[in-house]
Amino acid sequence: MAAPLTWGDTLHVNPAAEFTLECDDPGVPGGESNLVLKAAHAFRAATGWKGGAHFRLEKRIPMAAGLGGGSSNATAALRALNGLADGLLPPDALAAVAAGLGSDCALFLHDRPMIMRGRGEQLEPLPPAPTARLRGRRVLIFKPGFGVSTPWAYAQLAEISAELAASGPAAFGWTALDQSAGYLAVDKAEARLAAWVNDRRLPAEALLFNNMERAVATKYPALPALRAQLRADFCLTTGMSGSGSACFALLPDNLVPECVEAMTAAIRAAWGAPAQVFEARLA
């Protein structure tokens, strides 16, 4: 499951003769390798639309963070172009174009928490009651000065899972797919989600699970080390976003600013000045 944040990049779109892109962050790849321009050309290929647009991207979401920055920008471009083209693509067709750009792109066509299956392209809205338990929750996002390559992270997870499967039952009687170092079996993931959806007493913290965490930790131990420190010092429930390197902590609504400042200071002390820390809410 994934939930959007009330925070992100801003993409300005204006009609133009051709597709062009400018960005206020020099580190963002330009040219045809940028997902915004890939989305624009995919839209033209799907519709035959002859128009163009100039995109101006104000970048806030850090790159290689597992926060869906590039994917959300691509989908924002698709939505904007579909508006300029008077809705040439109906919702299902727009979702198909988005899914062709990346596994999580179609997620950003929805402004609400969604259940993701398959590669991420099979989407189902979270029911209203559990959605209400998530919306508005405070989240502290923190990212170190380094990023994590998504292809590397998935390859590492697949390698670890294969090794576990080949080794047979683990020492404690778990099967390989039960271990958080490998893939969580589909039936167990579905059971965990159903239990949370149906029990309104369970907070969002009870749902958190990311099987990428231990795979990524094999190369980046600074991520679990800081999360463990925050749990011990501030009693926070933490997680890693996607394939990392950004992590997050769910904050109580009544948490005072001084506590957030202390957490931020602890993060910067552990990860140094390049660490990025910001607060948002689940949308």
pLDDT in tens, 41-85: 999 999 999 999 999 999 999 999 999 999 999 999 999 999 999
Positions of CATH 3.30.70.890 in the chain: 131-281
Neighbour count for residue 49 (Cβ, 10 Å): 17
> Length of the chain, please?
283
Summarize the confidence of residues 181-200 as an average pLDDT: 84
116 CA to centre of own chain: 12
Summarize the confidence of residues 251-275 as an average pLDDT: 95
35-47 vs 91-101: helix crossing angle, rounded to 10: 140
* pLDDT tens figures, 196-231: 999 999 988 888 889 899 899 999 999 999 999 999
Positions of CATH 3.30.230.10 in the chain: 10-126
Strand spans (E) along 80-136: 114-117, 122-125
- CATH of 131-281 among 3.40.640.10, 1.10.10.60, 3.30.70.890, 3.40.630.30: 3.30.70.890
Class of CATH domain 10-126: alpha beta
* pLDDT tens figures, 125-146: 999 999 999 999 999 999 999 9
Average pLDDT, rounded, for the chain: 90
Indicate the pLDDT class of residue 182, thresholds 50, 70 and 90: low
pTM: 0.88
Neighbour count for residue 37 (Cβ, 10 Å): 20
Q: Is the predicted pLDDT of residue 177 greater than 70, yes or no? A: no
Neighbour count for residue 2 (Cβ, 10 Å): 17
Neighbour count for residue 146 (Cβ, 10 Å): 13
Instruction: Say which residue the tokens 């999580």 belong to.
Output: 104
